[in-house]
Amino acid sequence: MEGVDHLAHERNKSEFDVDAMKIVWAGSPHAFDVSDRISKLVASDPGFRKDNRSTLSRKELFKNTLRKAAYAWKTIVDLRLSEEEAAKLRFYVDEPAFTDLHWGMFIPAIKGQGTEEQQQKWLPLAYKMQIIGCYAQTELGHGSNVQGLETTATFDSQTDEFIIHSPTLTSSKWWPGGLGKVATHAIAYARLIVGGREHGVHGFIVQLRSLEDHSPLLGITVGDIGMKFGNGAYNTMDNGVLQFDHVRIPRNQMLMRVSQVTCEGKYKQSDVPRQLVYGTMVYVRQTIVADASCALSRAVCIATRYSAVRRQFGSQNGGPETQVIDYKTQQSRLFPLLASAYAFRFIGEWLKWLYADVTQRLQANDFSTLPEAHACTAGLKSLTTTATADGIEECRKLCGGHGYLCSSGLPELFAVYVPACTYEGDNTVLLLQVRDMSCKVSHEDCFSAGVQAVQQETSRYNSLYDSSRAFNAMSLRCSKSALLEAFEARAARMSVACAQNLSNFDNPEEGFAELSADLVEAAVAHCQLIVVSKFIEKLQQEIPGKGVKQQLEVLCNIYALFLLHKHQGDFLSTGCITPKHAALANDELRSLYSQVRPNAIALVDAFNYTDHYLGSILGCYDGNVYPKLYEAAWKDPLNESVVPDGYHLYIRPLLKQEIRTARL
Ligand SMILES: CCCCCCCC/C=C\CCCCCCCCCCCCCCCC(=O)SCCNC(=O)CCNC(=O)[C@H](O)C(C)(C)COP(=O)(O)OP(=O)(O)OC[C@H]1O[C@@H](n2cnc3c(N)ncnc32)[C@H](O)[C@@H]1OP(=O)(O)O
Ligand SMILES: Cc1cc2nc3c(=O)[nH]c(=O)nc-3n(C[C@H](O)[C@H](O)[C@H](O)COP(=O)(O)OP(=O)(O)OC[C@H]3O[C@@H](n4cnc5c(N)ncnc54)[C@H](O)[C@@H]3O)c2cc1C
């Protein structure tokens, strides 16, 4: 029935102020207002239609993305949208495009690594989109190992130019988004060679295509790398391949904030740490953490609404069957994901703050917090994207067969999201960067400080262990500090074990390599501790709105106890909890699921997603799933004719036993 809210009875059950929760989710009343306004603007504009993506050919899809990007830009200019509004517009348009790399990496790279002069020259052009940039770092042969890149930038003091060259096949740039068909410029990373000496990898602004007719410039070979995973999905992006054949660029197109090359051919390193060359990656990793909650919440919203609509089994005396959301198994799979979506929201907020803080310090030439910011963003990017990708797939399964239909929105969401586990740093490689933090709980290098540090860590661990032994059912239920201590003790214990094992190796690098699987597990434990602790910190703030804080308390407990349950091997083997505690935690989880159940629909309504953004029949706001699924099926291009194309060539000859004479 059109216009009827099939989920109204669910919404009536909720025990908290949903509008107040919407503001908590958005971050502030202002952020909510912007988000709400722009989401409605996009949803109501046919120019941003996206329901046909999975049936378009790659060429049609890509051309449509170009149109949308131009249309989005026109909208931004015509409506004089602020930067915040434009970013929201991009978010709700919900289509990866070259513009992401232009705004998300090209511009930040110039801002972070360019000198004042370079910024003044290039940024105005980029802001007006008079040039379009991409971030060309990865090569066919090397992605994770940035120091292994092969492209060279050789200084020619005669002409005051760099010669950018791809010496091998494996040095071809491979993957950069926007490079394939659109970008006019790239920040290309190459090994700097001055006077025959190598100085490591640096960034260079290189023009790729003519600003008149878009043809590649002399010495540039460029194209798209081909179709990627899933229909629609990330295929709206032109990930590209690029080879340089002795391409000359002026000397002032090397990004020179970190180090400089003079016209006499002198290489100068400033006080700025060379890791700032990696600064754009830190920025983007931080945005990826913030985005994880969006992707996960979207999948959870779809699965929760559909689980309340879907009924299977349990009919008594002809009454309605059971809503699948009432099955404890469904709850135990779905509600931890709901809790994770909220947890990731708050960790994203915190990381944004951390990044803003580090940026401010960098501007004042204080580089002290850079290693911590790097380790945090790397670890949390890995943790949140892995959990989100797995969570989206779990939501698909939670929707049974219909979850496999493109019209559920989940296949495309998974396909578009899953590369987040790889891009901007493979998740395992990034977890290994947390080693500094996880191996030095009190921020001292266990390895270099040797046995003494291990002893300190052990004593810290022992005190955490003692407090975690004080656990009982009540403390698990009521005390966030008991939970936090359990997580601290587990992370500390795993780090100490790594540090102790590492100290048995004469060669640290050999030790790290041998123990890398343990280090990764310790890093995960450490990152989970950060997420739990920041969720708890959030709850210590004043949170207005009837029942809002109570709901968040429940979700926080679910997040922490679910992890404790899932990783109980770690908690038990490190002695942080006893088997009895583990059983109590499990009992408590069941009780928490019952508390979430009446509020589940309201908790996903608080995300305030439009049906356009969700792009899912199963997740539609009114829950009127079946008529919409039925209608959508008939709109599939395959149903345009009753008898399919190909009948006369391939089906009829089979049926008529004429296959041997058929012209196949
Ligand atoms: C159609 C619609 C259109 C709408 C349009 C609307 C208009 C739009 C308007 C507004 C829109 C706004 C939109 C914005 C959208 C933004 C979204 C952005 C999305 C982007 C999508 C992502 C695309 C993906 C891009 C990429 O993948 S780029 C490539 C990334 N590559 C990697 O991540 C490589 C991974 N490897 C590494 O990072 C490193 O090499 C390493 C593995 C970390 C280091 O390895 P290693 O330690 O071996 O080597 P060294 O290099 O020698 O390092 C030594 C020491 O340095 C430390 N280190 C390393 N990294 C860092 C760092 N980053 N910071 C600080 N320190 C670092 C390292 O730990 C070592 O330390 P030590 O103490 O051990 O010595
Ligand atoms: C959709 C998409 C968009 C992208 N966009 C861009 C872009 O705009 N610009 C750009 O420059 N790049 C881009 N990339 C490239 C991306 O950043 C790299 O693919 C990524 O950093 C991973 O590197 P890799 O491909 O070399 O993986 P590899 O390092 O080859 O990883 C392969 C396997 O080896 C393992 N491994 C590697 N090293 C280690 C180690 N030291 N210890 C343990 N295990 C290890 C990994 O865990 C993984 O399982 C994009 C990639 C994708 C998929």
- Ranges of beta strands (E only) in 130-184 are 133-136, 152-156, 161-165, 173-174
**Three-class SS string for 590-643?**
HHHHHHHHHHHHHHHHCCCCCHHHHCCCCCCCCCCHHHHHHHHHHCCHHHCCCC
Ligand nearest to the CA of 276: 1
Number of Cβ within 10 Å of residue 248's Cβ equals 14
- Asked whether residue 391 is marked as a ligand-binding residue, the answer is no
| Residue of the CA atom closest to atom 6 of ligand 1 | 90
* Tokens linked to 324: 């699948």
ipTM: 0.98
Q: 506 to each of 299, 448, 453, 518, 520, how far by Cα in Å?
A: 48, 12, 17, 18, 21
pLDDT in tens, 267-314: 998 888 888 888 899 999 999 999 999 999 999 999 999 999 999 999
Q: What is the pLDDT of residue 287?
A: 97
Q: Is 422 in the pocket of ligand 2 (CB under 6 A)?
A: yes
Distance 580 CA to ligand 2 centre (A): 42
Distances (CA, A) of 227 to 107, 216, 236: 27, 22, 10
The ligand with the least distance to the CA atom of 151 is 2
Ligand 1 centroid to 110 CA: how many Å? 14
**From 85, 95, 412, 424, the catalytic residue:** 424
Average of per-residue pLDDT across 109-136: 97
Task: Tell me the one-letter amino acid at 107.
Answer: I
Instruction: Check pLDDT > 90 for residue 458.
Output: no
Per-residue tokens: 488: 């601290």
What average pLDDT score do residues 515-524 get?
96
d(CA 45, CA 231): 23
Which tokens sit at 73? 């830009």
- C-alpha R_g of the chain: 27
Residue 646 CA to residue 643 CA, distance in Å, equals: 9
For ligand 1, mutation pick of 137, 144, 369, 443 (most atoms within 8 Å of CB): 144
Query: Quick check: CB of 428 below 6 Å from ligand 2?
Result: yes
Q: Is 282 in the pocket of ligand 1 (CB under 6 A)?
A: yes
pLDDT of 504 strictly over 60 = yes
Q: 639 in ligand 2 pocket by Cβ < 6 Å?
A: no
- Which pLDDT belongs to residue 479? 73
The torsion angles phi and psi of 172, rounded to 5 degrees, stand at -60, 135
Q: Is 348 annotated as a binding residue?
A: no
Which of 144, 225, 418, 510 has most ligand 2 atoms within 8 Å of its beta carbon, as the pocket-test mutant? Answer: 144
Which has the minimum average pLDDT: 317-331, 441-455, 527-541, 630-644? 441-455
Distances (CA, A) of 248 to 93, 133, 187, 191, 279: 38, 18, 14, 15, 26
Q: Which residues contact 290 (CB under 8 A, 6 or more apart)?
A: 348, 349, 351, 352
- pLDDT at residue 143 greater than cutoff 70: yes
The verdict on the CB of residue 291 being under 6 Å from ligand 1 is: no
Residue with tokens 């899932």: 566
pLDDT of residue 401: 98
| pTM for this prediction | 0.95
Q: Is residue 611 predicted with pLDDT exceeding 50?
A: yes
- Could you tell me the two tokens for 296? 């996960």
Confidence category of residue 194, pLDDT binned at 50, 70, 90? very high
To the query of whether residue 394 is one of the catalytic residues in this protein, the response is: no
Q: 511 CA to middle of ligand 2, Å?
A: 24
Whether the Cβ atoms of residue 612 and residue 93 lie closer than 8 Å to each other: no
Q: Please indicate whether residue 278, judged by its CB atom, sits closer than 6 Å to ligand 1.
A: yes
Determine if ligand 1 sits within 6 Å of the CB of residue 135.
yes
> Which ligand neighbours the alpha carbon of 50 most closely?
1
pLDDT of residue 445: 37
